[in-house]
């Protein structure tokens, strides 16, 4: 059968390309690069043919080279076909881009070799038909990526990022190995299709909690979730093609792992709840930190942290088809964003700014959220919202909060009429697009991924608290222009720009892995926080001396005027900060209390 051979052609082509790259010249291997690009096109063609074979022959697992379901085999179904298409397409684009980007580098050949090897490992991961191949490809992906992170070995920041990634990856590898062993012991086979079929029938519930916990832990570490996210924000020291490569099934491999074993994960609702907490917090945390970054690539990296958190959140809500859709959409967008980041600064600088910025007031923000929810409700009604799961409806509401932010800009007093019309049109288009893509993803994955179960008390609590958390943070973000340049906001901005110092604590622990000389537990953490607070105090003192920009002076209370306006503005600042903190920390606190009670 074609399904036995075609899926393997894609990684095989990249393996050959990798070997050619290592055997060719280190600097400007022009002829070899042409062959390598053709090899990536062969991989893409193999992925397309595999998808066509799936449509004609249906899902299947190739013959096994091994025993007891362990060895080398390919699983061709809707999940693996979509991921193989994604990885091969993004891989082709990245390899083609790298040929020009790395031109003149003394180690261009080896870099291209490790690039192709990483892509081949990811392809073997997504088509894995058994758990042994899956874990070996998982580990190989991390090892090859480590070589790319150290392309410039003398850069201190690159060394730091690679070391953090190495530590988190090895812990994640250990968690996945534990999960693989437990899966084999519980189900008596390493064949993924047989394991999923048994789990869908309800078998293996006795040890499902431990298996799901190990899988979730491995996914959390792989996808750079808080607080093990620091390495991802420091990969800017590597060449830009590596940043784009991360979105070809590398950084989002954690989401793929949860999607692949969705039937097993559904047997452990408590683990799914933990995924909602961690993913939701990481999404809010990363999105807020992203707003404070001035460097384009660093901002994109924090955006990836937030997007991976949202992906984990979707898996925790058992919205596995939508999580897969999120992986595809985010990978395509973010890979393009990184590859085009060099032109971003020039493009932004060239934008003509004809007048003052339209700043929405509190009333405009309130009207924007109300209108956005009404638009969402009307569109949901026409798409048959009664047949949707509450989790999917809640997820759409979270996405519509972003639309409300656009509407707020259009409803500002200084906003021109054309801006109001465009934001309204974008709001409708976003709601229609969400339900259209949702229906398409559910139709495509029907029979491959399990349906979202009806929510119980725990799931309802998670849904409500998730909506509240994201809603509060969205409102605070929409009110950001009202207080962003207030001197009292400088401290909050500094805290956010430093990611609440979680990465600094990790750095300190790496330098002092046990305890300090006084043998006080966690002394290294306390020392790191103390050093950061000293730096923060100096920075804030400088920030307080910075004057407000001209376009905001009309909103800043005059020195010789009454303090009433000043108190009102500071009150708005306090409310916004309170909303941010409540939205970020309220979700895990309330869910933890719910689980305890």
In a domain, 144, yes or no: yes
In the numeric block, which tokens belong to residue 218?
């491995």
Average pLDDT over residues 302-308: 92
Region for residue 104 given its phi and psi (left: phi exceeds 0; alpha: psi -120 to 50; beta: otherwise): left
Say if CB 141 and CB 250 are below 8 A apart: yes
Asked whether residue 128 is assigned to any structural domain, the reply reads yes
Cα–Cα distance measured from residue 526 to residue 513, given in angstroms and rounded to the nearest whole number: 13
- Would you state the pLDDT for residue 352? 57
* pLDDT at res. 518: 38
Q: Which of 186, 180, 185 is nearest to 215 (CA)?
A: 180
Question: What is the pLDDT at residue 585?
Answer: 54
- Residue 26 shares a structural domain with residue 61: yes
Domain membership flag for residue 221: yes
> Above 70 in pLDDT, residue 508?
yes
pLDDT in the model for residue 131: 95
> Which tokens belong to 26?
């280190």
Contacts of 420 (CB under 8 A, 6+ apart): 410, 411
How do residues 528-575 score in pLDDT, each as one tens digit? 555 555 555 555 455 445 444 444 444 434 433 444 444 444 444 454
Instruction: Specify whether 97 is located in the same domain as 148.
Output: yes
pLDDT at 156 (0 to 100):
83
Task: Please give the pLDDT value at position 568.
Answer: 41
Q: Is 349 inside any structural domain? A: no
- What does the angle CA 419 – CA 422 – CA 424 come to, to the nearest 5 degrees? 110
Contact 130, 192 (CB under 8 A): yes
520 with 475, same domain: the answer is: no
- Percent of the residues in the chain that have a pLDDT greater than 90, as a whole number: 39
Number of domains forming the structure of the chain: 3
Check residue 558 and give its pLDDT. 41
Same domain, 149 and 174: yes
Residues 448-470: what's their mean pLDDT?
90
388, containing H or E segment: none
Are 311 and 223 spatial neighbours (Cβ–Cβ below 8 Å)?
yes
**Residue 60, exposed/middle/buried by CB under 10 A (0-12, 13-18, 19+)?**
middle
584 has pLDDT over 70: no
Q: What is the DSSP string of 512-566?
A: SSS--TT--TTHHHHHHHHHHHHHHHHHHHHHTTSPPPGGGGGGSPPTTS-SHHH
Question: Percentage of the chain surpassing pLDDT 70?
Answer: 81
Residue 175 has pLDDT above 90, yes or no: yes
User: Is 390 found in the same domain as 320?
Assistant: no
Tell me: do 592 and 462 sit in the same domain. Answer: no
Q: Has residue 351 been placed in a domain?
A: no
Query: Long-range contact list for 131-135, CB < 8 A, 24+ apart?
Result: 131/69, 131/70, 131/180, 131/183, 131/184, 131/190, 131/192, 131/195, 132/66, 132/70, 132/71, 132/180, 132/190, 133/71, 133/72, 133/73, 134/180, 134/192, 134/260, 135/173, 135/176, 135/177, 135/180
Mean pLDDT of 408-417: 72
The residue among 416, 450, 481 that closes a domain is 481
Question: DSSP secondary structure string, 401-420?
Answer: HHHHHHHHHHTSTT--HHHH
Contacts of 498 (CB under 8 A, 6+ apart): 504, 532, 536
Q: Beta strand pairing status for 75-76 and 65-67? A: unpaired
Q: How confident is the model at residue 477 (pLDDT cuts 50, 70, 90)?
A: confident
pLDDT score of 415: 66
Cβ 91 vs Cβ 13: under 8 Å: no
Neighbours of 515 (CB within 10 A): 12
| Per-residue model confidence (pLDDT) at position 354 | 52
Q: Tokens 């009454």 map to which residue? A: 562
More confident residue, 451 or 485: 451
Higher pLDDT, 542 or 100: 100
Q: Is 227 within a domain? A: yes
Q: What is the mean pLDDT of residues 81-104?
A: 94
Strands 75-76 vs 60-61: parallel, antiparallel or unpaired: antiparallel
Between the CA atoms of 158, 164, 167 and 170, what dihedral angle is there, to the nearest 10 degrees?
Answer: -70
Coil, strand or helix: which one is 65? strand
pLDDT digits 0-9 by tens, 421-454: 787 888 888 888 888 998 899 999 998 999 999 9
Q: Establish if 350 belongs to a structural domain.
A: no
Rounded CA separation 481/349 (Å): 20
Q: What digits encode the pLDDT tens for the residues 32-47?
A: 999 999 999 999 999 9
CB 427 within 8 A of CB 375: yes
Instruction: Collect all residues with Cβ–Cβ distance below 8 Å to 298 and sequence separation of at least 6.
Output: 233, 236
- Whole-model pTM: value is 0.84
Last residue of a domain, one of 481, 505, 524: 481
Q: Are residues 436 and 527 in the same domain?
A: no
Instruction: Give Cα separations from 207 to 27, 195, 204 (angstroms).
Output: 53, 13, 6
Q: What is the mean pLDDT of the chain?
A: 82
Which tokens is 391 given?
Answer: 């989790």
Residue 333 CB neighbour total at 10 angstroms: 13
Average pLDDT over residues 345-367: 69
Are 453 and 527 members of one domain? no
Q: 10 Å Cβ neighbour count for 154?
A: 7
Q: Kindly report which listed range (386-390, 426-430, 519-523, 588-592) carries the lowest average pLDDT score.
A: 519-523
Q: Of 550 and 81, which is predicted with more confidence?
A: 81
Q: What is the pLDDT of residue 542?
A: 52
Domain shared by 364 and 451, yes or no: yes
**pLDDT given at position 423:** 78
Whole domain around residue 66: which residue ranges?
Answer: 2-343
Q: Is the pLDDT of residue 73 over 60?
A: yes
Q: What is the pLDDT of residues 237-285, one digit of tens each?
A: 788 899 889 888 899 999 999 999 999 999 999 999 999 999 999 999 9
Q: What is the pLDDT of residues 198-235, one digit of tens each?
A: 999 988 788 889 999 999 999 999 998 988 888 888 87
Domain identity same for 458 and 488: no
| 31 shares a domain with 19 | yes
CB 216 within 8 Å of CB 271: yes
User: What b/e readout covers 107-120, taking b as 16+ CB neighbours within 10 angstroms?
Assistant: ebbbbbbbbbbbbb
Question: Cα–Cα distances in Å, from 490 out to 362, 543, 547?
Answer: 21, 6, 12
How far is 553 from 428, CA to CA, in rounded Å?
A: 35
372, part of any domain: yes
| Model pLDDT for residues 395-405, shown as the tens digit of each residue | 888 888 878 87
The verdict on 369 and 285 lying in the same domain is: no
- Domain closes at, from 446, 481, 516: 481
């Amino acid at each position: 059968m074609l399904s036995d051979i075609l899926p393997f052609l894609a990684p095989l082509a990249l393996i050959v390309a990798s070997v050619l790259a290592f055997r060719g010249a280190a600097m400007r291997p022009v002829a070899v690069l042409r062959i390598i690009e053709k090899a990536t096109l062969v991989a893409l063609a193999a992925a397309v043919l595999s998808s066509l074979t799936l449509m004609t022959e249906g899902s299947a697992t190739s013959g096994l080279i091994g025993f007891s379901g362990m060895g080398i085999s390919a699983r061709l179904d809707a999940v693996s076909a979509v991921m193989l298409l994604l990885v091969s397409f993004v891989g082709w684009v990245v390899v083609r881009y790298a040929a020009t980007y790395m031109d003149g580098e003394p180690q261009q050949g080896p870099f291209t070799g490790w690039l192709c090897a990483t892509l081949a490992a990811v392809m073997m991961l997504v088509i894995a038909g058994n758990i042994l191949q899956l874990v070996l490809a998982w580990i190989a992906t991390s090892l090859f990526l480590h070589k790319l992170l150290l392309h410039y070995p003398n850069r201190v920041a690159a060394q730091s990022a690679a070391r953090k990634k190495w530590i988190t990856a090895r812990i994640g590898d250990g968690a996945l190995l534990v999960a693989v062993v437990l899966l084999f012991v519980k189900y008596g086979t390493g064949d993924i299709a047989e394991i999923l079929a048994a789990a869908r029938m309800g078998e293996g519930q006795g040890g499902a909690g431990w298996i799901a916990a190990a899988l979730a832990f491995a996914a959390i570490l792989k996808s750079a979730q808080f607080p093990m996210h620091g390495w991802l924000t420091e990969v800017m020291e590597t060449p830009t093609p590596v940043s784009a490569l991360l979105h070809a099934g590398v950084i989002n491999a954690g989401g793929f792992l949860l999607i692949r074993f969705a039937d097993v994960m559904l047997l452990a609702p408590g683990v799914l709840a933990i995924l909602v907490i961690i993913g939701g917090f990481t999404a809010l945390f990363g999105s807020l930190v992203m707003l404070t970054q001035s460097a384009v690539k660093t901002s994109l990296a924090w955006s990836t942290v937030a997007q991976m958190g949202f992906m984990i959140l979707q898996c925790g809500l058992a919205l596995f088809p939508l999580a897969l859709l999120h992986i595809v959409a985010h990978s395509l967008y973010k890979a393009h964003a990184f590859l085009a980041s060099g032109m971003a600064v020039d493009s932004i600088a060239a934008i003509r700014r004809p007048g003052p910025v339209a700043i929405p007031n509190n009333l405009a923000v309130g009207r924007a959220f109300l209108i956005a929810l009404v638009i969402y409700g009307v569109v949901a009604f026409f798409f048959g919202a009664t047949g949707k799961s509450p989790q999917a409806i809640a997820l759409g509401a979270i996405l519509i909060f972003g639309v409300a932010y656009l509407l707020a800009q259009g409803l500002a007093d200084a906003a021109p009429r054309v801006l109001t019309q465009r934001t309204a049109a974008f709001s409708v288009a976003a709601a229609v697009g969400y339900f259209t893509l949702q229906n398409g993803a559910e139709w495509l994955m029907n029979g491959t991924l399990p349906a979202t179960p009806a929510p119980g008390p725990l799931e309802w609590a998670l849904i409500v608290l998730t909506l509240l958390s994201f809603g509060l943070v969205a409102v605070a973000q929409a009110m950001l222009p009202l207080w962003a340049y207030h001197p009292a906001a400088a401290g909050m901005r500094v805290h956010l720009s430093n990611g609440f110092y979680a990465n600094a604590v990790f750095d300190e622990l790496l330098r002092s892995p046990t305890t300090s000389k006084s043998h006080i537990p966690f002394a290294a953490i306390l020392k790191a926080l103390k050093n950061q607070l000293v730096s923060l105090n100096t920075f804030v003192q400088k920030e307080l001396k910075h004057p407000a920009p001209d376009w905001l002076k009309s909103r800043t209370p005059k020195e010789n005027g009454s303090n009433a306006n000043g108190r009102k503005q500071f009150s708005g600042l306090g409310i916004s900060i309170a909303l941010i903190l409540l939205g970020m920390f309220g979700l895990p606190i309330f869910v933890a209390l719910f689980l305890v009670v």
